[in-house]
Amino acid sequence: MTNISETAKSNIQDQIQEEVEQARTVCDVSGSNSPECAAAWDAVEELQAEASHKRQNKKKNSLEQYCDDNPEAIECRIDDN
């Protein structure tokens, strides 16, 4: 059974792979110094940054996970005073 996070990870990795292939094609056709080539690789970098950001956000410590599951718990209250 595949969970949602594994599916999301697979989807973004698939998107990255597709963008890499597209960037290579664009650069082969338009030249490696063309604006189109640069834009294609920028798209790859953006997806890679998004994947990295998602990985970092998933890492929660046990208290953060507990508070996500039990926001009303006294340990999870935030005092703004």
Cα–Cα distance, 60 to 4 (Å, whole number): 17
Q: Render pLDDT for 3-26 as a digit per residue (tens, 0 to 9).
A: 445 555 678 899 999 999 999 999
Is residue 64 assigned to a domain?
Answer: yes
Is residue 2 assigned to a domain?
Answer: no
pTM score? 0.60
Contact 37, 45 (CB under 8 A): no
Question: Domain containing 53: what range?
Answer: 9-76
Number of domains composing the chain: 1
Q: How many CB atoms lie within 10 A of CB 26?
A: 19
Could you tell me which residues come within 8 angstroms of residue 80 by beta carbon, excluding any fewer than 6 positions away? none
Is residue 56 assigned to a domain?
Answer: yes
Is residue 81 assigned to a domain?
Answer: no
Q: Render pLDDT for 34-58 as a digit per residue (tens, 0 to 9).
A: 999 999 999 999 999 999 888 776 7
Contact 23, 37 (CB under 8 A): yes
